[in-house]
């Protein structure tokens, strides 16, 4: 009787500690995941004016998959992935996937030149005050967040994306 | 099944006990009484049974030897982490993969490859701390509980062998027991009497000090662990230009979002002429900072504010933030962390005819939001074709920008005039004004406006009270355990003789003074010390 | 006020020297009138150390009045304060244990600490914003008191080793003991060479490129054995024998290394001289003078840890964390100074466990006390001078 009690007490205590330490290590490895918008969270709504002066609100895209990209004209990896994004956008926009390429705190003049150069046809919301950037806890750019048709985040990455990767992302959030 | 050992005094002890809890008689052969006294000869639970894997793990962490090894390993690891700066202390814009090698050579490279540049956040360091926590919990449970039981059940009358083997011991005859009792009580001992024998003890609570401080440490470590749980901790940085408002990261909720306005950033230096610091200040090259301060106003939006939407702000309060004096609201605090003086804000130019020097209007460019076109009237206008906030020539020798901060602004302007309706292009930057050479007009620099920025750390830490509680309990425990001592004196009538023995877990000097006082005041033979005791 | 202050510090220094002398008199062996003699000189020694302490307290208060902040804000001020806390710790332990022999070692080591402190710039300097807090005085004084008491455990442990290590044969133990004594002598060497070269006004200048590739002048006040990692000597004084490795950081790294080498050399010279005079190991020579009971020494060194450890924890970790939370927004940031305070804490925690639970008494415990003091001095000196971190302004 006593022996059994002891076994369970000890096992339970060890298990609790292993879980606690394991969880701590897991969280410390993915420091971003704890504090900011990450996989599984509902993507917070935002409203920004795009380059053409149109109001873009995230909630309006419910029911569609949203490829939310944060970028800047001066960032080389961002520049590299733009043509891929444009090409895949043309393929997937009719299948219910939208790209929102949020520009991080730049001027209309610079961004307009860039958009013209790469013939980008998806909306480019201008986050001049970095409000959305801060709320989403964006560190390095480019950062891409995939949002499914229910408004849930299914992926977050700060990698520079290959075209293949973009295709797989598009497939993932296609409604 | 649980075995017990019944001592000749009638007390039944748990299996594994080496000294009877009640009378102190050795229950096994070859028991070293003095060293067994550390834990009252009680059975350390872990050493009793060795069966399952769980028991084996338990036993492993129960050992003080293992605990000390863990302390030593953590100590060495912590020291290794200070050989070269950790990743958090190297300049923010360098790649650690190359930085360590270029700064510290091969050793630096090895340091980096072993992951020592992020030692304190590495999985194995956290695991070591976790194991130390485990060791503290198990070792304390294994020793604290039996010790508590043993001290609670101890009797006044002790076994002869127990008495004889104490470090301080004497035999006397013809002693007045009441006198001894009285003297001991005057030394503030708690004295119990049983069949003409005495047991005096003082400061028993100090024996719990070790366990109390271990509880404090566990609470502290728990607090440190909770840091990694979502929602407990916010650590962010907020840059705000003078005169502007910015949302405070991490403060968004359904009740609204906080905004902060930077009314003024103040930087004060010590006056070199000030007499008392004169000699110290004249020996340094630059100036010495006296104060970094931001005067701020806190605002909050209405409920259900949508991120990015024009905020409807209500003022909450104003305040000053200095180093050492954070600004607090709700569970947040803002700390003065950094600043940037004189960031370019607006630049002015004049359109000038090269030949005559005549000027045809002035334009002011907001470097954070330049307009596409500036109409100067009378058919004169200037267009911005390209804008590089932080100009640099890239690898392909093309003009580009390092980032989006206007630290080195440059423009490609198109200038239009009635004389040149087709427009003339010119590249204008700081101390640069380049055109094809055939332009009739040029842009002349006509002044600059700057703004200061303040950088504030935004912090929320819901673990602080747990950490503080752990710290307080630790200090109480460690004081209780180290500033007080548990002293015990036994007096036993034994066939016409009176035996006296004394024990303490530490500070023998103090105990000796007590027993000297006792033998001075009474007829008790002075207690003698065993020579080998401390070796 | 500033002048009164430095006079008081100077007086304290002299009085401490005399106090050492009196304590030495008390243990000098004159057969026959032992007890009376010892008691008399011990008493004089003790009183003089109290008077010295009072004088240094006077220095501390007047300097505080002169500067407007607690004088614990730079290396000179902090190190003198540490010396003062060592004296205070000695006084406390003397009151408990009445042992003159402790004074013979504790007082000169405190003197050495204060002399070492005076080699740093002694100007009254203004407080940078990060230091403008009440926690400066609370944190630094408490930590220094804790360290001072722990230093006494080193002194007592050292005497224990001198008293008990077998000097009839040469062994690892005798070698280490000599190394410890040599390192104390090297501090004396450092003071001698510093004063010596300053006295003759020696100076040699290098021009080197700093981290930002700017040409800077590096002025040595001792002949350059270790030159800067790059650059040229501008005068034709004694040239550098080798260059400082470039991974040693900062413009002053080569000067510090050079000074360190000079201190070791001067220490070696002094040590050699002493060996020549004594014709035996220094510890062996001291052993004949030390008559204290090993048990008592063991008790004192342990008691000093028991008293010092909670104070050190309170000052160097807990108060430090409270202040760090207020000034830097986080109570813990793995800054080298913080880490070394933690290492000190862990070390003495291990010491207490080994002692209380595994019975490490006597010699083992004494060696640990010596090692503990090495960690403390490393944190006081090397972390500020060598490792880079937030505390490097101090």
Q: Tell me the per-residue pLDDT of B100-154, one tens digit each, with 9 for 90 and over.
A: 888 788 888 899 999 898 899 899 999 999 999 999 999 999 888 888 888 888 8
Residues B171-186: what's their mean pLDDT? Answer: 88
A76 in contact with B at a CB cutoff of 8 Å? no
* pLDDT tens-digit series, residues B494-525: 888 889 999 998 888 889 999 999 988 888 88
Residue C394 pLDDT: 41
User: Which of C243, C357, C381, C385 to probe the B interface (max B CBs under 10 A)?
Assistant: C357
Task: State the Cα–Cα distance between residues A104 and A109, nearest whole angstrom.
Answer: 14
CB–CB contact C330 B509 (8 Å): no
Question: What confidence category does residue C305 fall into, taking pLDDT thresholds of 50, 70 and 90?
Answer: very high
- Are C45 and C79 in contact by the 8 Å Cβ rule? The answer is no
Mean pLDDT of chain B: 87
Is 80 exceeded by the pLDDT of residue B344? yes
- In Å, how far is C315's CA from the nearest CA of chain B? 11
Q: What is the ipTM of this complex?
A: 0.90
Facing B247 at nearest CB: one of A72, A112, A134: A134
Mean pLDDT of B312-330: 92
pLDDT of residue A35: 55
- Rounded alpha-carbon distances, angstroms, from residue A145 to A41, A56, A66, A67, A121: 11, 17, 8, 6, 19
Q: Of the candidates C125, C128, C333, which has its C-beta nearest B289's C-beta?
A: C128
B265 and B307 belong to one structural domain? yes
Chain B closest-CA separation from residue C381 CA (Å): 14
Q: Per-residue confidence at C161, pLDDT binned at 50, 70, 90?
A: very high
Q: Does C358 touch chain B (CB under 8 A)?
A: yes
**Regions of chain A where pLDDT drops below 50:** 1, 33-34
Give C354's pLDDT tier (boundaries 50, 70, 90).
very high
- Partners of B55 on chain A (C-beta within 8 Å) are 7, 10
Q: Tell me the mean pLDDT in the region C248-274.
A: 85
User: Which of the four pLDDT bands, split at 50, 70 and 90, describes residue B488?
Assistant: very high
Q: Is B519 helix (H, G, I), strand (E, B) or coil?
A: helix
The verdict on residue B160 lying in a domain is yes
Q: Which residues of B touch C325 (CB under 8 A)?
A: 464
Q: Half-sphere exposure (CA, 13 Å, Cβ side) for B315?
A: 6
For A:5-24, CB contacts with B below 8 A are: 6-7, 10-11, 13-14, 17, 20-21, 23-24
Residue C318 contacts B where some CB pair is shorter than 8 Å: yes
Q: For B280, which of C124, C133, C309 is closest by C-beta distance?
A: C124
CA B81/CA B125 separation, integer angstroms: 11
pLDDT value at residue C274: 94
* Residue length of chain B: 535
Residue B442: which H helix or E strand, with range?
strand B441-461
Three-class secondary structure of residue B244 per DSSP: coil
Q: Name residues whose C-beta falls within 8 Å of residue B340's C-beta, 6 or more positions apart in sequence.
A: B239, B452, B453, B455
| Separation CA B535–CA B225 (nearest Å) | 42
- Inspect the interface and report whether the beta carbons of B386 and A28 lie closer than 8 Å: no
CB contact, 8 Å: B58 with chain A? yes
> Is the Cβ–Cβ distance between C302 and C355 less than 8 Å?
yes
The DSSP bridge pattern shows strands C242-243 and C226-227 to be: parallel
Domain holding B85, by residue range, is 44-151
* pLDDT of res. A1: 45
Separation in Å, CA of A171 to nearest CA in chain B = 28
Q: For residue range C11-58, list pLDDT tens digits in order.
A: 999 999 999 999 988 887 655 556 777 788 889 999 999 999 999 999
Beta bridge partner(s), residue B444:
B350
Task: Please state the three-class secondary structure of chain A as a single string.
Answer: CHHHHHHHHHHHHHHHHHHHHHHHHHHHHCHHHHHCCCCCCECCCEEEEECCCCEEEHHHHCCCEEEEEEECCCCHHHHHHHHHHHHHHHHHHHHCEEEEEEEECCCHHHHHHHHHHHCCCCCCEEECCCHHHHHCCCCCCCEEEEECCCCEEEEEECCCCCHHHHHHHHHHHCC
Subunits with at least 3 CB pairs below 8 A relative to chain B?
Answer: A, C
Q: Break chain C into its structural domains and give their ranges.
A: 2-167+294-328
Q: Is the pLDDT of residue B365 over 80?
A: yes
Over residues C162-202, the pLDDT tens digits come to 999 988 888 999 999 999 999 999 999 999 998 898 888 88
Q: Is the pLDDT of residue B194 over 50?
A: yes
Q: Do B280 and C362 touch (CB under 8 A)?
A: no
Q: In what order do the strands lie in the sheet with A126-127?
A: A126-127, A97-104, A65-71, A143-147, A153-157
Query: What is the rounded distance in angstroms from the CA atom of residue B188 to the CA atom of residue C25?
Result: 39
Same domain, B140 and B50: yes
Residue in B with minimal Cα distance to C393:
B288
B 370-429 residues inside an 8 A Cβ radius of A:
370, 372, 384-390, 400-404
Instruction: Mark B274-296 as b/e (b = at least 16 C-beta within 10 Å).
Output: eebbeebbeeeeeebbbebbbbb
Cβ proximity of C160 and C362 under 8 Å: yes
Give the position of tokens 């000390």. B68
What part of C 114-143 touches B (C-beta under 8 Å)?
121, 123-126, 128-130, 132-133, 135
Is residue B18 one of the residues assigned to a domain? no
pLDDT band at C386 (very low <50, low <70, confident <90, very high): low
Computed from CA positions of residues C128, C130, C133, C135, in that sequence, does the dihedral angle turn out positive or negative? Answer: negative
CB spacing of B130 vs A27 below 8 angstroms: no
Q: Do B400 and A14 touch (CB under 8 A)?
A: no
Whether chain A has a CB inside 8 Å of the CB on B55: the answer is: yes
Neighbours of A135 (CB within 10 A): 21
- Whether residues C129 and B322 touch (CB distance < 8 A) is answered with yes
Pairing outcome for strands B327-329 and B332-353: antiparallel
Closest among C386, C388, C376, C387 to C79, alpha carbons compared: C376
Task: Give the residue-averaged pLDDT of B169-177.
Answer: 85
Q: Work out whether strand B197-202 and strand C204-209 pair parallel, antiparallel, or are unpaired.
A: unpaired
- Is the pLDDT at B368 greater than 70? The verdict is yes
Average pLDDT over residues B171-190: 89
Residues of C whose CB is below 8 A from B323: 129-130, 132, 327
Task: Give the CATH superfamily of A37-173.
Answer: Glutaredoxin (3.40.30.10)
| Neighbour tally for C8: CB within 10 Å | 20
Look at B5 and C171; give whichever has higher pLDDT.
C171
- The nearest CA of chain C is from the CA of B90 a distance in Å of 10
Interface test with B, best of A52, A134, A145 (most B CBs within 10 A): A134
- B125-138 tens-digit pLDDT: 999 999 999 999 99
State pLDDT tens for residues B26-79. Answer: 887 777 777 777 777 776 655 555 578 888 888 899 999 999 999 999 999 999
Give CA separation, B448 vs B81, B400, B409, in Å: 46, 22, 11
Burial of B115 (0-12, 13-18, 19+ CB in 10 A): middle
Would the CB atoms of C126 and B479 count as touching at under 8 Å? no
Pairing of strands B313-322, B373-377: unpaired
Beta bridge partners of B322: B293, B325
Interchain CB distance below 8 Å, C123 and B283: yes
Q: Give pLDDT tens digits for C103-132.
A: 999 999 999 999 999 888 888 888 889 899
Q: Which positions ≥6 away from B455 have C-beta within 8 Å?
A: B237, B238, B239, B337, B338, B339, B340
Is B82 in contact with C340 (Cβ distance < 8 A)?
A: yes
Residue C393: per-residue pLDDT: 47
- Contact B277/C247, CB-based, under 8 Å? no
Tell me whether chains B and A touch (3+ CB pairs under 8 A): yes
Cβ pair A25:B370 closer than 8 A: no
Please tell me which residue of chain B has the smallest CA distance to A21. B130
pLDDT reported for residue C199: 87
Query: Which residues 39-68 of chain C have a CB within 8 Å of chain B?
Result: 66-68
Instruction: From B133, B151, B169, give the residue that closes a domain.
Output: B151
Token pair in block for residue B370: 């330049």
For residue C100, the SS3 value is: helix
A116 — contact with chain B (CB < 8 Å)?
A: no
Residue B464 structure tokens:
């602080």
Query: Could you tell me if A54 lies within 8 Å of chain B, comparing CB atoms?
Result: no
Residue of B nearest to C164 (CA): B535
Q: Which residues of A touch B134 (CB under 8 A)?
A: 14, 17
Contacts of B130 in chain A (CB under 8 A): 17, 20-21, 24-25
Q: CA of B241, closest CA in chain C: separation in Å?
A: 21
Q: DSSP assignment of C60-86, as one string?
A: HHHHHHHHSS-S-SSHHHHHHHHHHHH
The angle, 0 to 180 degrees and rounded to 10, between the axes of the packed helices B209-226 and B123-153 is 150
- By the 8 A CB rule, do C327 and C130 touch? yes
Q: Kindly state the DSSP code that residue B458 receives in the 8-state scheme.
A: E
Kind and range of the H or E run holding C269:
helix C253-278
The chain B residue lying nearest C331, using CA atoms, is B464
Residues 6 or more apart in contact with residue B308 via CB below 8 angstroms: A46, A47, A48, A125, A127, A129, A131, A132
CB contact under 8 A, B386 and A47: no
Asked which of B408, B429, B461 is the last residue of a domain, the reply is B461
pLDDT at site B327: 94
Please give the tally of structural domains in chain B. Answer: 4
* A142: preceding bond cis by omega (within 30 degrees): yes
Computed over every residue of chain C, the mean pLDDT equals 88
Q: How far apart are CA C97 and CA B20, in angstroms?
A: 36
pLDDT on residue C231: 75
CA–CA gap between residue C75 and residue C386 (Å, rounded): 13
Report the Cα A139 to chain-centroid distance in Å. 11
Query: Which residues, at least 6 apart from C225, have a Cβ–Cβ distance to it below 8 Å?
Result: C240, C241, C242, C258, C261, C262
- Chains touching A (3+ CB pairs < 8 Å): B
B359 and B406 housed in the same domain? yes
CB contact under 8 A, B464 and C321: no
3-class state of residue B53 by DSSP = helix
Are residues B103 and B51 located together in one domain of the fold? yes
Q: Find the residue in A nearest to B130 (Cα).
A: A21
Task: Give the CA distances from residue B295 to residues B244, B392, C223, in Å, rounded to whole numbers and listed in that order.
Answer: 12, 35, 51
Q: Which of B38, B82, B105 sits opposite C247 (nearest CB)?
A: B105
Residue B2 contacts A where some CB pair is shorter than 8 Å:
yes
Measured between CA atoms, how close is C193 to chain B, in angstroms?
A: 23
Q: Which residue of A has its CA nearest to B238?
A: A134
Residues 6+ apart with CB under 8 A from B227: B233, B461, B463
Q: Which residue, among C318, A115, C292, C12, has the nearest Cα to B464 in the 3D structure?
A: C318
Give me the pLDDT at residue A33, please. Answer: 47
- Option in C334, C343, C359 nearest B79 (CB): C343
Judge: B249–A20 Cβ closer than 8 Å, yes or no: no
Same domain, B199 and B251: no
């Amino acid at each position: 009787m006593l022996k059994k009690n002891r076994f369970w007490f000890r096992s339970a205590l060890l298990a609790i500690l292993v879980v606690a330490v394991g969880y701590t290590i897991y969280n410390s490895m993915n420091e971003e995941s704890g504090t900011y918008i990450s996989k599984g969270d509902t993507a917070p709504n935002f409203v920004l004016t795009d380059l053409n002066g149109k109001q873009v609100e995230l909630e309006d895209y419910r029911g569609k998959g949203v490829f939310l990209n944060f970028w800047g004209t001066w960032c080389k990896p961002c520049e590299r992935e733009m043509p891929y994004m444009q090409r895949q956008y043309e393929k997937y926009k009719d299948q219910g996937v939208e790209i929102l390429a949020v520009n991080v705190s730049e001027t209309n003049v610079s961004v307009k030149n860039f958009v013209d150069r790469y013939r980008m046809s998806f909306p480019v919301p201008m986050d001049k005050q970095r409000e959305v950037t801060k709320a989403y806890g964006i560190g390095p750019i480019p950062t891409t967040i995939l949002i499914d048709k229910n408004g849930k985040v299914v992926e977050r990455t700060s990698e520079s994306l290959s075209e293949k990767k973009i295709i797989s992302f598009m497939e993932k959030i296609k409604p | 099944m649980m075995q017990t050992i019944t001592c000749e005094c009638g007390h039944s002890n748990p299996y594994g006990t080496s000294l009877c809890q009640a009378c102190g008689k050795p229950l096994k052969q070859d028991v070293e009484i003095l060293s067994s006294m550390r834990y009252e000869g009680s059975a350390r639970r872990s050493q009793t049974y060795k069966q399952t894997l769980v028991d084996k793990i338990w036993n492993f962490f129960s050992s003080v030897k293992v605990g000390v090894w863990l302390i030593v390993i953590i100590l060495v690891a912590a020291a290794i982490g200070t050989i070269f700066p950790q990743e958090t202390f190297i300049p923010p814009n360098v790649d650690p993969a190359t930085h360590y090698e270029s700064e510290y050579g091969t050793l630096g490279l090895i340091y980096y490859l072993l992951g020592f540049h992020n030692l304190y956040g590495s999985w194995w360091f956290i695991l070591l701390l976790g194991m130390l926590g485990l060791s503290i919990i198990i070792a304390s449970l294994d020793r604290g509980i039996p010790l508590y039981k043993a001290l609670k059940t101890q009797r006044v009358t002790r076994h002869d062998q127990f008495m004889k083997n104490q470090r301080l011991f004497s035999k006397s005859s013809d002693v007045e027991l009441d006198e001894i009792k009285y003297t001991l009580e005057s030394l503030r001992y708690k004295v119990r009497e049983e069949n003409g024998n005495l047991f005096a003890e003082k400061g028993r609570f100090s024996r719990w000090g070790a366990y109390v401080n271990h509880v404090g440490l566990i609470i502290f470590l728990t607090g440190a662990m909770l840091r990694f749980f979502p929602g407990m901790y916010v650590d962010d940085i907020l840059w705000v230009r003078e005169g502007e408002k910015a949302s405070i990261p991490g403060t968004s909720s359904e009740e609204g979002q906080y905004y902060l306005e930077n009314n003024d950033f103040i930087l004060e230096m010590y006056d070199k002429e000030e007499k008392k610091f004169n000699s110290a200040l004249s020996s340094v090259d630059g100036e010495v900072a006296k104060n970094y301060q931001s005067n701020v106003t806190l605002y909050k939006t209405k409920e259900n504010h949508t991120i990015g939407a024009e905020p409807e702000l209500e003022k909450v309060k104003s305040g000053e933030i200095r180093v050492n004096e954070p600004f607090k609201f709700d569970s947040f605090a803002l700390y003065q962390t950094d600043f940037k003086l004189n960031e370019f804000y607006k630049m002015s130019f004049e359109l000038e005819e090269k030949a005559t020097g005549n000027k045809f209007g002035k334009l002011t460019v907001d470097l954070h939001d330049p307009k596409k076109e500036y109409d100067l009237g009378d058919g004169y206008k200037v267009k911005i074709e390209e804008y590089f906030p932080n100009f640099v020539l890239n690898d392909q020798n093309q003009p580009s920008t390092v980032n989006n901060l206007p630290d080195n602004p440059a423009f490609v302007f198109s200038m239009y005039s009635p004389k040149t309706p087709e427009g003339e292009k010119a590249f204008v930057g700081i101390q640069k004004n380049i055109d094809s050479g055939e332009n009739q007009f040029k842009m002349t620099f006509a002044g600059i406006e700057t703004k200061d920025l303040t950088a504030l750390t935004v912090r929320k830490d819901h673990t602080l009270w747990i950490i503080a509680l752990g710290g307080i309990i630790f200090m109480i425990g460690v004081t209780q355990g180290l500033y007080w001592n548990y002293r015990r004196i036994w007096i036993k009538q034994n066939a016409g003789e009176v035996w006296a023995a004394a024990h303490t877990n530490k500070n023998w000097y103090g105990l000796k003074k007590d027993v000297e006082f006792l033998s001075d005041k009474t007829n008790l033979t002075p207690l003698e010390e065993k020579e080998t005791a401390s070796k | 006020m500033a002048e009164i202050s430095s006079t008081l510090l100077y007086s304290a220094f002299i009085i401490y020297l005399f106090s050492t002398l009196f304590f030495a008199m008390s243990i000098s062996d004159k057969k026959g009138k032992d007890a009376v003699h010892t008691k008399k000189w011990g008493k004089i020694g003790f009183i003089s150390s109290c008077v010295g302490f009072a004088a240094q307290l006077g220095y501390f208060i007047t300097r505080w009045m002169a500067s407007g902040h607690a004088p614990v804000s730079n290396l000179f001020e902090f190190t003198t304060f540490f010396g003062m806390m060592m004296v205070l710790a000695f006084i406390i332990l003397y009151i408990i244990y009445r042992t003159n022999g402790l004074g013979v070692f504790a007082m000169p080591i405190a003197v050495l600490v204060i002399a070492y402190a005076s080699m740093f710039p002694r100007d009254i300097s203004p407080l940078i914003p990060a230091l403008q807090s009440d926690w400066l005085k609370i944190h630094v004084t408490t930590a220094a008191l804790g360290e001072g008491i722990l230093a006494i455990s080193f002194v007592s442990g050292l005497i224990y080793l001198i008293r008990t290590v077998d000097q009839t044969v040469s062994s690892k133990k005798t070698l280490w003991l000599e190394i410890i004594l040599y390192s104390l002598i090297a501090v004396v060497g450092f003071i001698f060479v510093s004063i010596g070269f300053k006295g003759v006004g020696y100076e040699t200048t290098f021009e080197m490129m700093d981290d930002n590739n700017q040409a800077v002048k590096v002025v040595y006040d001792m002949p350059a054995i270790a030159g800067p990692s790059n650059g040229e000597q501008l005068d034709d004084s004694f040239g550098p024998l080798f260059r400082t490795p470039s991974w040693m950081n900062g413009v002053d790294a080569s000067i510090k290394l050079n000074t360190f080498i000079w201190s070791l050399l001067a220490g070696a010279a002094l040590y050699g001289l002493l060996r020549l005079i004594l014709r035996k190991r220094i510890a062996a020579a001291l052993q004949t003078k030390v008559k204290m009971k090993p048990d008592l020494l063991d008790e004192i060194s342990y008691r000093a840890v028991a008293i010092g450890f909670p104070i050190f924890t309170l000052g160097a970790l807990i108060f430090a964390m409270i202040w760090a939370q207020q000034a830097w927004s986080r109570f813990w940031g793995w800054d080298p100074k913080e880490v070394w305070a933690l290492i000190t804490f862990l070390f003495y925690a291990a010491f207490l466990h080994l002692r209380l639970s595994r019975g490490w008494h006597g010699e083992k415990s004494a060696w640990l006390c010596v090692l503990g003091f090495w960690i403390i001095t490393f944190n006081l000196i090397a972390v500020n001078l060598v490792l880079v971190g937030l505390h490097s302004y101090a």
